[in-house]
Amino acid sequence: MSGAASDPVAQFYLSQLGGEYGDTLTAPCPFCASRGFEPGRLQVVLNRSSFLYGYFHCRNRCVPGGYPLWFARLAGLPLDTVPGYVPEREGGVQPEYPLIGMDEEVRTFAGRFSGDSLERYTRRGIRRETLAELKIGFNGRYLVFPYIQENGSCYSARCVHPEKASDFFWQGDEQFSTEPFNIFNSQDISRCENGSLFLCEGEENAIVLKQLGFPAVAVPVRAVLERLAVSRFAWLDNLFICVPNTPDSMETARGLAARIGYRARVVGWPQGTPRDFDFWRLAEEEGAAKKISSLISAARPFSPFTSVEREFSFFNNNLLSQEMAAYKNVVSGFPLLDERLEGVRGLNVVGGAPKAGKSTWLIQIATELARRRVPVLYYDFENGRQRIYQRTVSRLARLEVAQLGGAGLTEEEATRLAEAKGKLQEMLHYLRVVSDRGITPELMKKHIEFLRHETRSDYVVVAIDSLHKLPFKEFGEKRAGIDGWLREFESMRDGLGVSFLVISELSRQEDGSYDGVPHMGVFKGSGDIEYSADNAMVLMPSDDGGERYNTLWLVASREHASGRVAKYKLDYPFWGFREEPVPSDDAA
């Protein structure tokens, strides 16, 4: 008894049933006689490491099994004497049930089992007592699964052909074939308060579990799992979700588990299990009970976090990938910038004054990445695809845009033009220009996943021209919208391993200029760039003896020293920039 002293659940059962404390308590059933059954034995699981801890059931099945609160209700005990009782859970609005149901029909169908209809269950070890407890019947052609409600009455039953599960119909009140009434054996939910329950896809999978002594409910088809209100399971400690071995069912089960949280456990299937395999088919195999128990024991609580093994694998694979050529190709093509930032990594925000050449600078980097077979998604709200392609060919061929039609070119110029067009065509396998102003974060993620799949690449760079032209409808007012998009970029960077190059507008200084030493305050309309960006940069116009150029400043960085990076002079009229070092006495 010493162990029971610190175990309130064990103390509760021992005080009602007597006997000795152990992993299992067996005692005469206090409910059999009052329900017209021969004296039977009641078993209670008191092993604290078991997910069925506190669960009782009668071997005669005179009453459905459950946990301490259900025992107290059956025995007429004051609920405030029961471990785990929470008065605030009591009551609630109950639905209005019809005055007349189909209970008499259910009793009639339950007495019609014979021959093949009964053998279907006996060869799986399912006894008449289990079918009787669940009031399952047969109408001469269809199996009848009554959907008994919390008040103990049935108003609708699902009739299913024994050999063809897709052949079924609902009998009774149509309202009770839909949510929230279409949970088979739904009374087990309240019986399992503060305990564990099994939720199955398909009634017969629940029947298999009930035969083995587990509490179980079921939904008729997978689609119902998608719509279940998780509040129905709010007072359970564990909900085991059991579905057939199909991709759709397993995905739905994981989706439900995500909504429920850590209390949910999805029962998985070993590799090599046949498609559509479930507990009903498994029940025909030798040693089915042991196999089902093993599957249940292997189920783990749903976690929003990846496993330790997967997380370490992610870390180690990333380390190894950094030594591969594909990783080393994720560079801007500007040597000084790449040396400073070690390539195009993370979330990079680049501010610049109007007409400073931000778009031209970004186009050059994006197309150089694509030339190296790095997939690039270019979200353009400034220039349009044709202008981007023209400027790229102009830079590669060193021809003015007006010459790209090919008229009046020398043979050597025509050759350069043909080669540049060929390079553009190759690039377009890796460069996708999107001008849709209806872009959303979810759509952007789909673009990323598609391009990664299409190019079979682990790395994708997203270029955005510009941050202030993105749609903000989802986020409300513009400033909140900009910050909202930045948080989405952070999420994609971390969750999808994507790098970003994002153009931002600058705020004018007090004198109306964009000159001087830049700082985080020059970025327009966002307070989150400072916290979101891995690298915040500014292309600042400069004048060296009448020669105009831009100086790239690294204003803030998580890993690199701030200061001047390089000078960029426009290679007019070929729509490209030449990178030059900042004089040593000028460098930060």
Which residues make beta-bridge pairs with 43? 26, 57
| 160 lies in the same domain as 218 | yes
**552 lies in a domain?**
no
Indicate if the pLDDT at residue 536 is higher than 90: yes
| 32 lies in the same domain as 158 | no
What are the CA-CA distances from residue 498 to residues 115, 284, 367 (Å)? 63, 49, 17
Indicate if the pLDDT at residue 451 is higher than 70: yes
**319 lies in a domain?**
no
| 109 lies in the same domain as 85 | no
**27 lies in a domain?**
yes
Percentage of the chain exceeding pLDDT 70:
94
* Nearest 10 degrees: Cα torsion 404, 406, 411, 412: 0
- Predicted confidence at residue 356, as pLDDT, reads 83
Task: Tell me how far apart the alpha carbons of residues 214 and 66 are, in angstroms, rounded to a whole number.
Answer: 9
Task: Tell me how far apart the alpha carbons of residues 255 and 245 are, in angstroms, rounded to a whole number.
Answer: 15
| 513 lies in the same domain as 429 | yes
| 339 lies in the same domain as 488 | yes
Which amino acid is residue 434, in one-letter code? V
Sheet holding 41-45, edge to edge: 24-28, 41-45, 56-58
Indicate the SS3 state at residue 492: helix
Task: Tell me how far apart the alpha carbons of residues 278 and 291 are, in angstroms, rounded to a whole number.
Answer: 12
- Asked if 283 and 315 touch (Cβ cutoff 8 Å), the reply is no
- Asked if 422 and 393 touch (Cβ cutoff 8 Å), the reply is no
- Predicted confidence at residue 520, as pLDDT, reads 84
Indicate if the pLDDT at residue 514 is higher than 70: no
Give the chain's domain count.
3
| 537 lies in the same domain as 453 | yes
Query: Residue 181's domain is classified under what CATH number?
Result: 3.40.1360.10
Q: Place 25 in a pLDDT band, splitting at 50, 70 and 90.
A: very high
Among 89, 123, 150, residue at a domain's last position: 89
Indicate if the pLDDT at residue 104 is higher than 80: yes
- Predicted confidence at residue 508, as pLDDT, reads 73
**314 lies in a domain?**
no
- Predicted confidence at residue 97, as pLDDT, reads 92
| 85 lies in the same domain as 113 | no
Indicate if the pLDDT at residue 512 is higher than 60: no
Task: Tell me how far apart the alpha carbons of residues 385 and 48 are, in angstroms, rounded to a whole number.
Answer: 65
**288 lies in a domain?**
yes
Q: Place 418 in a pLDDT band, splitting at 50, 70 and 90.
A: very high
Does the N-terminal peptide bond of residue 220 adopt cis geometry, omega within 30 degrees of 0? Answer: no
Q: Place 333 in a pLDDT band, splitting at 50, 70 and 90.
A: very high
| 209 lies in the same domain as 348 | no
| 469 lies in the same domain as 571 | yes
pTM of the model: 0.63
| 81 lies in the same domain as 110 | no
**571 lies in a domain?**
yes
Q: Which residues have C-beta within 8 Å of that of residue 24, sequence separation ≥ 6?
A: 43, 44, 45, 46, 47
Query: Residue 356's domain is classified under what CATH number?
Result: 3.40.50.300
Indicate the SS3 state at residue 173: coil
**96 lies in a domain?**
no
**Whole-number mean pLDDT of the chain?**
91
Among 50, 65, 89, residue at a domain's last position: 89
pLDDT in tens, 266-309: 999 999 999 999 999 999 999 999 999 999 999 988 877 777 77
pLDDT in tens, 453-506: 999 998 999 999 989 899 876 555 667 888 899 999 999 998 888 999 999 988
| 404 lies in the same domain as 371 | yes
| 264 lies in the same domain as 359 | no
Domain that holds residue 41: 4-89
- Predicted confidence at residue 518, as pLDDT, reads 80
**586 lies in a domain?**
no
